[in-house]
Amino acid sequence: MAKKTTKSSFLERVAQAHEEHKGDETRVGSGGDLPAGIEQGIARLVSAKIGVYQSGPNEGEPFFMAAGTVLDPETVTVVDPKTKKSRVIHIRGLRTTVGPEPICDTQTQAGKAISLADHWDRILNWLRLLGIDTKKVEPTDVITEESEGVFGTGPLLEALAEAGPTFRFRTWSGKPTEQYPDPKVNHEWRGVCEWDGDATEGAVEDGTEEQPQWESDAAEEKEPEPLPKKSTKPEVEEDEEEAAEEEIDFAALGKLADAKKKGSQEATQALAGHAKLLGIDHESFETWVEVAQAIIDHEEPEEEEAEEEVEEEAEEEAEEEWVPQEGEIVYYIPPGKKESISCEVVKVEDDKASIRRSDTKKLVKVPLEKLSNTETPF
């Protein structure tokens, strides 16, 4: 008698599970990718939506969540607090997120009640930080209820995600406790900004601080996430003078902006930003080439004057035979600037020194003659 064959019950269950989930949206874990201590980061909004909790105490209730991809800095240097060794992490393209923020009454693990109104207040604040005038917003612009208990993303959030505004952000974490020995990294969005497309390198400090009360409440509602694994790629030095020459090629930016070709938008943003810093009204000019020339005319005399002052100070320093030492705080005037900034000497080689700028946290190499041991302008 032939043996009767039957379809595996295991494969039937797999097939059923496959049909149920093959069309699901891809899920990305919130946070955890970025280290704490990032300041003045820039990201572009890529997602703003309403979701529904699938399990837990808020099962069936809606929540708000938004995410952006990091544009700047491209890398950050992280110092291990235990070994004191620094590592470079590439973060461009990673996500910064806010939420999920419940849209319902909740209770923290400590038993503190948080009302729907409190949660909604946080959501509206995030929308204002993304450039939305919430006085003109209706609730149904943010969240829809197609039927009882069936929630959807409102048209405002969809339009906002499609527009993709750029905004500033920072990351931080609370101090370790017995309950949370490895506290999660919190993301704080700081408001919309312009981005000229130039990437920088950042430095991450300790990144731990006292939690604001509402952040502390939110942390109790979520499980802490582990810190990311770090790359071992060495920190890269760049020659400050060469980098500066590329950054201030305003004439090329002006031609690119007027050409209205690929990259022209970034060029106009860069010129507008530089003009604003110098107090130049770019809207009063007919072309971007004219704006660029105005910036050049404004900066060139200052650069020449700064160079003359640098040379005079260098001669005085040579007479005094002052040589900066590793770890010493020195002062330096970057190209195109009028005032000196403080820097830490990392390494001295022959007639040049590797210094870490206090404003950008970048590690740059400059001639010794351009350094001073006093804060007085050169």
Using CA atoms, how far residue 31 sits from 99, 188, 285, 335, in Å, is: 10, 11, 44, 37
More confident residue, 359 or 308: 359
Q: Is the peptide bond before 100 cis (omega within 30 degrees of 0)?
A: yes
User: Among 81-85, 178-182, 251-255, 290-294, which range has the highest average pLDDT?
Assistant: 290-294
What pLDDT digit, counting tens, does each position of 155-205 carry?
999 999 999 999 999 888 877 777 777 778 888 898 999 887 765 555 454
At residue 31, φ and ψ (nearest 5 deg) are 65, -170
- Tokens 């929540």 map to which residue? 63
Residues above pLDDT 70, as percent of the chain: 73
Pair of tokens at residue 311: 């040379």
More confident residue, 317 or 350: 350
pLDDT at 212: 47
**pTM of the complete model:** 0.47
CB atoms within 10 A of CB 93: 10
DSSP 47-89: EEEEEE--SSTTTT-EEEEEEEEEEE-SEEEEE-TTT--EEEE
pLDDT at 8: 65
Q: Where are the alpha helices (DSSP H) in 239-349?
A: 240-247, 250-259, 264-277, 288-320
- Tokens 């093959």 map to which residue? 22
pLDDT at 31: 44
pLDDT at 141 over 80: yes
CB atoms within 10 A of CB 326: 11
More confident residue, 37 or 304: 37
Sign of CA dihedral 347, 348, 349, 352: positive
pLDDT at 46 over 50: yes
Work out the pLDDT band at 219, boundaries 50, 70, 90: very low
pLDDT at 145 over 80: yes
pLDDT at 167: 93
What pLDDT digit, counting tens, does each position of 242-266 carry?
444 345 577 887 787 777 665 566 7
> Quick one: which of 224, 218, 183, 212 has its CA closest to 112?
218
Kindly list the domain boundaries of the chain, sorted by start residue.
Answer: 29-221, 238-372
Among the residue ranges 134-138, 159-163, 333-337, 343-347, the one predicted with the least confidence is: 333-337
Residues above pLDDT 90, as percent of the chain: 19
Instruction: Tell me the CATH number for domain 238-372.
Output: 2.30.30.140
Across all residues in the chain, what is the average pLDDT? 76
pLDDT at 301: 47
pLDDT at 307 over 70: no
Name the maximum alpha-carbon separation found in the chain: 108
pLDDT at 23: 82
pLDDT at 321: 66
pLDDT at 238: 47
User: Regarding beta strands 201-204 and 75-79, do their DSSP bridges make them parallel or antiparallel, or are they unpaired?
Assistant: parallel
Helix (H), strand (E) at residue 331: strand 329-332
pLDDT at 222 over 60: no
Pair of tokens at residue 39: 């300041």
pLDDT at 147 over 80: yes
pLDDT at 256: 79
User: Regarding beta strands 86-90 and 238-239, do their DSSP bridges make them parallel or antiparallel, or are they unpaired?
Assistant: unpaired
